[in-house]
């Protein structure tokens, strides 16, 4: 843990910069507030103190966001519609369902592409090209189309999360299944292994590092998909809906709290996958 000290230092520096920025950005707003209240005798200290504790600041101070997070996570019952736990669970559910479907389909397609040459030659260029296209632009439309079929609630958002996580998984897993070098493939041939055996005993295990790398990307992408989908259909709740509600009503502290909740969710998911990856790495001894 020799990097703990540098990380803590950098984090503290970010918090310090944040406080300064908050004071500077909110000061003019607070001056107007003082002027409206007829107060002219405030000191710089008053101004800074008030700027860091405004109700609707341009940039809320870190302690305000922390207090809001604490209030919305711990003091409000998780069943309440104001609780971030409630909205976080909605987002988490959509993300996990979408992530599971998206990665399963992605791995399935990668298997097909690796085993069928014509699929590889005809489809792979499109899948690679899809990585350069802002496919998230499709999100609002998917929600509406599924709505026409009376598919509402979690399903449309999970669908968007799924298709956002689908492409990176396909690309990553095709790379992974192709990672054994010709020497190893030749060895399998000298053992007269069937294609299925080669796949199960060589290609699949060799793809493990790629698997965990793609899962991390897919989880992060699925969460982005879920949050953006919630913005386009905000009446069912979720962290994205909180972002949108906050921006409608100018509740900046609420936006930042929702943002941090989403960040924590993403970091937890990616961290959990990274942890599973390291466990697998120890047992399988891949680099």
Binding site for other proteins (CB under 8 A): 2-3, 5-11, 14, 58, 118, 121-126, 129, 131-134, 136-138, 140-141, 143-145, 148-149, 216, 220, 223-224, 227-228, 231-232, 239-240, 243-244, 246-247, 250, 252, 255-256, 258-259, 262-263, 266-267, 270
Q: CB 206 → other proteins: shortest distance, Å?
A: 21
Q: CB 202 → other proteins: shortest distance, Å?
A: 23
Separation of alpha carbons 100 and 124, rounded Å:
22
Q: Which two tokens stand for residue 269?
A: 């998911």
Burial pattern 121-159, b for ≥16 Cβ within 10 A else e, equals eeebeebeeeeeeebeeebeebbeebeeeeeeebebbbb
62 phi/psi in degrees, rounded to 5: -50, -40
Closest CA relative to residue 140, chosen from 233, 51, 6: 233
42 CB-side CA count, 13 A: 19
Nearer to other proteins, 91 or 198 (CB): 91
Closest CA relative to residue 279, chosen from 257, 271, 129: 271
Nearer to other proteins, 83 or 251 (CB): 251
Measuring CA to CA, how many Å separate 120 from each of 79, 123, 171, 175, 178?
A: 48, 6, 11, 12, 12
Separation of alpha carbons 71 and 32, rounded Å:
29
Confirm if 141 and 170 have CB atoms less than 8 A apart: no
**How long, in residues, is the chain?**
287
Q: CB 151 → other proteins: shortest distance, Å?
A: 12
Q: CB 91 → other proteins: shortest distance, Å?
A: 10
Separation of alpha carbons 102 and 222, rounded Å:
8
Q: CB 226 → other proteins: shortest distance, Å?
A: 9
Separation of alpha carbons 225 and 242, rounded Å:
15
Nearer to other proteins, 198 or 238 (CB): 238
Q: CB 116 → other proteins: shortest distance, Å?
A: 12
Q: CB 195 → other proteins: shortest distance, Å?
A: 21
Q: CB 61 → other proteins: shortest distance, Å?
A: 14
Separation of alpha carbons 180 and 27, rounded Å:
60
Nearer to other proteins, 33 or 124 (CB): 124
Place of tokens 């709740």: 237
Nearer to other proteins, 108 or 125 (CB): 125
Nearer to other proteins, 79 or 148 (CB): 148
Nearer to other proteins, 106 or 168 (CB): 168
Nearer to other proteins, 57 or 202 (CB): 57
């Amino acid at each position: 843990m020799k990097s703990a000290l540098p990380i803590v230092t950098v984090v503290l520096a970010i918090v310090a910069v944040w406080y300064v920025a908050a004071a500077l950005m909110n000061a003019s707003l607070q001056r107007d507030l003082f002027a409206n209240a007829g107060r002219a005798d405030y000191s710089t200290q008053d101004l800074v103190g008030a700027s860091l504790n405004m109700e609707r600041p341009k940039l809320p101070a870190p302690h305000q966001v922390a207090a809001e997070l604490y209030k919305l996570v711990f003091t409000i019952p998780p069943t309440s519609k104001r609780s971030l736990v409630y909205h976080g669970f909605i987002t988490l559910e959509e993300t996990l369902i979408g992530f599971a479907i998206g990665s399963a389909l992605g791995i399935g397609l990668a298997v097909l592409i690796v085993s069928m040459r014509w699929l590889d030659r005809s489809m792979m260029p499109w899948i690679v090209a899809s990585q350069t296209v802002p496919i998230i632009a499709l999100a609002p439309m998917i929600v509406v189309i599924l709505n026409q079929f009376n598919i509402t609630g979690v399903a449309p958002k999970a669908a968007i999360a799924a298709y956002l996580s689908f492409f990176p998984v396909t690309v990553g897993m095709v790379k992974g299944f192709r990672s054994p070098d010709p020497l190893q493939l030749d060895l399998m041939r000298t053992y007269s292994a069937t294609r299925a055996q080669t796949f199960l005993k060589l290609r699949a295990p060799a793809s493990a590092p790629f698997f965990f790398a793609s899962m991390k990307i897919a989880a992060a992408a699925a969460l982005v998909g879920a949050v953006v989908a919630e913005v386009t259909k905000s009446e069912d709740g979720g962290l994205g809906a909180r972002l949108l509600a906050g921006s409608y009503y100018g509740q900046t502290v609420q936006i930042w709290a929702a943002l941090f909740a989403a960040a924590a969710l993403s970091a937890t998911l990616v961290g959990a996958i990274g942890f599973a990856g390291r466990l697998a790495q120890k047992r399988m001894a891949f680099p």
